[in-house]
């Protein structure tokens, strides 16, 4: 099998991956996470589009990832430089996305990213790439937060969870019923994630450390790659007085479920074709089913 045939074979069998990175991924040494992203795109010959719209310093962002992807042997990576929603709806400008094997969203500000690309032709093409062509969508820091339908838009990291200290916005919706936070252990954001879950028990919180990625293969399973851990905070069985207390007060939270998945963890859906994934611990089953769900294009 030629390299191109192998790549075509891999893509045809791919269910689509999300590589959700907690920021600060290594871009110079072993680059374990970016290397994994490239693999999941189909290898060095894959076409990768880098979306820098989250950042106010797009050119510098592109330079960084241009060098990193080159160092990983990638030859067909391109910069999608968008300044406005008009750009994100410009079919000429976004043409590279139509046959991209991977799309990578850099850090910056997730509110800026969504303001520019949310609901545009680019947004629709990214969903089509993932869901119809099995492409790989990567995002780091702001690009990670932006992936869920409910997006952590803004919030202070207080010592304690606080009512009203966090605000959500509408994200890209590659995942649902979750909210994603990044730089998680490094910036001590558990309180902030608990603040979200206290007021939004419908959402499970996902906290991703720096240089760490949650890799989701739709319909198959998940994996944690890199140096840190992924923390999951599940408040669905919780009881709380958050509805009764004043703004900025600390809520009582009883029976929040917490899971810590260190790098190296792999979990497969029951019956999924991934023989080396471990069986799924029962408390994670529903979480796994949810985030690997093959949501249709809406």
Sites of contact with a second copy (CB under 8 A)? 159-161, 185-186, 188, 190-191, 194, 209, 228-229, 239, 249-263, 265, 281, 283-284
Closest approach of a second copy to the CB of residue 295, in Å: 25
Choosing from 14, 141, 165, 265, which is the catalytic residue?
141
16/134 Cα distance (integer angstroms):
4
- Sheet harboring 266-268: ordered strands across? 76-80, 47-51, 102-105, 136-140, 17-21, 212-217, 221-226, 266-268
Told to judge if 141 belongs to the known catalytic residues of this protein, a careful annotator would answer: yes
Choosing from 183, 191, 195, 223, which is the catalytic residue?
183
Closest approach of a second copy to the CB of residue 239, in Å: 5
Choosing from 25, 210, 217, 223, which is the catalytic residue?
210
Q: Using the structure block, give the residue that is written with the tokens 């106010």.
A: 56
Q: Give whichever of 171 and 207 is closer to a second copy, judged by the CB atom.
A: 207
Q: Which helix (H) or strand (E) holds 229?
A: strand 229-234
Q: Give whichever of 107 and 161 is closer to a second copy, judged by the CB atom.
A: 161
37/19 Cα distance (integer angstroms):
7
Q: Which helix (H) or strand (E) holds 86?
A: helix 85-88
Closest approach of a second copy to the CB of residue 170, in Å: 28
Closest approach of a second copy to the CB of residue 240, in Å: 9
Q: Using the structure block, give the residue that is written with the tokens 């966090």.
A: 166
21/37 Cα distance (integer angstroms):
10
Q: Are strands 239-240 and 212-217 parallel, antiparallel or unpaired?
A: unpaired
How many CB atoms are closer than 10 A to CB 283?
11
Closest approach of a second copy to the CB of residue 238, in Å: 9
Q: Give whichever of 101 and 211 is closer to a second copy, judged by the CB atom.
A: 211
Q: Give whichever of 52 and 250 is closer to a second copy, judged by the CB atom.
A: 250
Told to judge if 210 belongs to the known catalytic residues of this protein, a careful annotator would answer: yes
Q: Give whichever of 149 and 161 is closer to a second copy, judged by the CB atom.
A: 161
Q: Using the structure block, give the residue that is written with the tokens 């949650």.
A: 214
Told to judge if 183 belongs to the known catalytic residues of this protein, a careful annotator would answer: yes
Residues belonging to the active site? 141, 183, 210
């Amino acid at each position: 099998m030629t390299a191109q045939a192998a790549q075509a074979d891999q893509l045809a069998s791919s269910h689509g991956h999300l590589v959700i990175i907690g920021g600060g991924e290594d871009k110079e040494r072993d680059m374990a996470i970016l290397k994994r992203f490239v693999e999941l795109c189909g290898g060095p010959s894959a076409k990768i589009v880098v979306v820098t719209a989250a950042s106010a310093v797009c050119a510098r962002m592109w330079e960084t990832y241009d060098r990193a992807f080159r160092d990983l042997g990638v030859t067909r990576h391109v910069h999608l430089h968008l300044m406005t929603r008009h750009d994100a709806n410009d079919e000429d400008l976004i043409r590279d996305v139509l046959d991209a094997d991977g799309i990578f969203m850099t850090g910056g500000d997730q509110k800026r990213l969504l303001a520019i690309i949310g609901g545009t032709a680019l947004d629709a093409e990214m969903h089509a790439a993932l869901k119809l062509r099995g492409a790989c969508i990567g995002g780091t820091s702001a690009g990670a937060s932006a992936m869920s339908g409910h997006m952590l838009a803004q919030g202070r990291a207080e010592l304690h969870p606080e009512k009203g200290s966090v605000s959500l916005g509408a994200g890209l919706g590659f995942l649902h019923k979750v909210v994603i936070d990044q730089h998680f252990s490094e910036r001590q954001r558990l309180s902030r994630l608990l603040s979200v879950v206290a007021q939004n028990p419908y959402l499970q919180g996902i906290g991703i450390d720096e240089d760490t990625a949650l890799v989701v293969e739709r319909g198959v399973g998940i994996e944690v790659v890199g140096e840190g851990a992924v923390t999951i905070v599940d408040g669905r069985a919780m009881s709380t007085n958050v509805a009764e207390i004043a703004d900025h007060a600390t809520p009582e939270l009883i029976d929040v479920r917490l899971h810590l998945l260190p790098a190296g963890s792999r979990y497969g859906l029951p019956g999924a074709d991934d023989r080396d994934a471990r069986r799924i611990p029962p408390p994670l089953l529903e979480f796994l089913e949810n985030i690997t769900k093959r949501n249709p294009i809406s």
